[in-house]
Amino acid sequence: MADPKGFLTTPRQEWPRRPVAERVHDWNEVQVPGALLPIVGPQADRCMDCGVPFCHEACPLGNLIPEWNDLVSREDWRAAADRLHATNNFPEFTGRLCPAPCEAGCVLAINQPAVTIKNVECAIADRAWEQGFAPPAPPDRLSGRTVAVIGSGPTGLAAAQQLTRAGHTVAVYERDDRIGGLMRYGIPEFKMEKRHLERRVEQMRAEGTKFRTSTTVGRDVEAAELRTRYDAVVIATGATAWRELTVPGRGLTGIHQAMEYLPLANRVCEGDLESSPLSAAGRHVVIVGGGDTGADCLGTAVREGAASVTQLDIYGRPGAERDEDAEPWPTYPKLYRLSAAHEEARDLRTAPAADADARLFAASTLRFTGDADGHVRSLHLVEVDAGRRPVPGTERTLPADLVLLALGFSGPDQGDGLIAQLRLELEPRGTIARDAGFATNAPGVFAAGDAARGQSLIVWAIAEGRAVAAAVDRHLTDGTTRLPAPIRPYDRPMTA
């Protein structure tokens, strides 16, 4: 703690975003380039170096937050980068994309705005790349043992990097044509430019990890074959089976799942397509689902030039302040938050709601109606109470010629045959069952990330990848490992 009074003298200041009118005309990240570094030192100085740092406790990776805050305030960027990478393989991803449970748990947040931990993390990660503090770290010697990792999202990548660095020969199988999982074709470019992903993949290649893209395990290659070819298999296939909305009119054209829509916009950014076949340009867009996936659809539709965008949330509008009884500090509270996408829809008045917030809260979809060609034209909704019962007399109709369903995901996709071929046992909610050591019922086969945990966050996915790597390393060696295991399979975020 370079400045013991920092938290008293310096107000919280976040990495500023570019003006809405500018950023909606491109797909680049929303923050002002270069504007973080000048402010981040004094922000790190706000850290109180708590005796019991709840920021660290709230992070599934166990990030050494007070240590790197201190190192940043002393401008020792190399040491800060070392401490950051000691617990997180990909801090440039979490520094941009994490909802930061660490900040909700920050002790300063009891009566003041939290330390900008996520910004400090991002600044260290970016500086590490710029100054060459994150070179490839190939193993000194090979173990002669082999591992197949199925899925190249944050779980698979973290597991592969840990196991490669431990000396095992690792191949990552990915059904998409590019590496990255939901970070590649789900999360839009304006939240994280894909160059960050490319750089890490290059680092991993240089360390010796092999990548096999456009290969669906279960279809292009038999899962059982992988089991005989490799000493261990890690399933990190995510939870991509989307939830459906079974209301009248669902079969009309113009109604799509978020993960049918977002990948096409991402492919435009990758240069694969000139324009998206599902572009929102000139259309009245309604997004069903109030979560982050819905917000990603919102920001994408705004950039594509939608005539209007509305996002429906079945939950009531949350308060601006934490409910101390239901969600006390240091838990992660459900608050009214204005994401960059919501700000854009409001400022551009593409949102039709009364206060120009693109969101309608406590709104439940009743049915869709369409035109003579069978294309959706309207969405009919009703307001609901806290028990999701319709409030009489609140039915209304929204113009809708593109509807995007962002209702979450139920578990791993079973259409590829992987789960059936390995005869994997599932949990009642559809995720892959595993024991306390991340092992499935199939010998030598481990499961991690959203595929086993259920839909979660990137920070949990990286923690899962690191933890499953430790379990696999133990399986491949004499029962010992030097790899860290930050979480157990049944660990969950802190709740009251």
Ligand X SMILES: Cc1cc2nc3c(=O)[nH]c(=O)nc-3n(C[C@H](O)[C@H](O)[C@H](O)COP(=O)(O)OP(=O)(O)OC[C@H]3O[C@@H](n4cnc5c(N)ncnc54)[C@H](O)[C@@H]3O)c2cc1C
Site string for ligand SF4, 10-49 (x = CB under 6 A): -------------------------------------xxx
| Site membership for ligand SF4, residue 64 (CB under 6 A) | no
Q: Which stretch binds ligand SF4 (CB under 6 A): 24-32, 105-113, 134-142, 376-384?
A: 105-113
Burial readout 149-187 (b: 16 or more C-beta within 10 A, e: otherwise): bbbbbbbbbbbbbbbbbbbbbbbbbbbbebbbbbbbbbb
Q: Which residues pair with 287 in a beta bridge?
A: 311, 404
108 binds, among ligand X, ligand SF4, none (CB under 5 to 8 A by kind): ligand SF4
Nearer to ligand X, 356 or 494 (CB): 494
Measured N-to-C along each axis, helices 37-44 and 65-73 cross at an angle, to the nearest 10 degrees, of 120
What is the layout of strands, in order, in the sheet containing 232-235?
210-212, 169-173, 146-150, 232-235, 445-447
Give the shortest CB-102-to-ligand SF4 separation in angstroms. Answer: 7
Residue 459: strand, helix, or coil: helix
Estimate the crossing angle of helix 117-130 against helix 37-44, to 10 degrees.
Answer: 130
The 3-class secondary structure across 250-261, one letter per residue, is CCCECEEEHHHH
Count of residues interacting with ligand SF4 (CB under 6 A): 15
Q: Would you say 100 or 400 has its CB closer to ligand SF4?
A: 100
Burial class of residue 97, CB neighbours in 10 A (0-12, 13-18, 19+): buried
Tell me the C-alpha distance between 467 and 436, whole Å: 11
The listed partner (ligand SF4, ligand X, none) that binds 47, CB under 5 to 8 Å by sort, is ligand SF4
Sequence-ordered list of residues with C-beta below 8 angstroms from that of 340, at least 6 positions apart, any chain: 17, 23, 30, 190, 191, 299
124 touches ligand SF4 by CB under 6 A: no
Q: Which stretch binds ligand SF4 (CB under 6 A): 12-20, 65-73, 374-382, 435-443?
A: 65-73
Query: What CA–CA distance (Å, rounded) separates 73 from 103?
Result: 18
Compose the 67-96 pattern: x for residues touching ligand SF4 by CB under 6 A, - for all others.
--x---------------------------
Contact residues toward ligand X (CB under 6 A) are 97-98, 150-156, 173-176, 181-183, 186-187, 191, 216-218, 236-238, 240, 262, 292-293, 296, 413, 416, 418, 449-451, 455-459, 461
Helix, strand, coil percentages for the chain (3-state, nearest 5)? 35, 15, 50
55 binds ligand SF4 (CB under 6 A): yes
Tell me if 494 contacts ligand SF4 by CB under 6 A. no
120 binds ligand SF4 (CB under 6 A): no
Options 30, 40, 71, 106; binder of ligand SF4; rule CB under 6 A: 106
Enumerate binding residues for ligand SF4 (CB under 6 A): 47-50, 53-55, 65-66, 69, 106-108, 115, 117
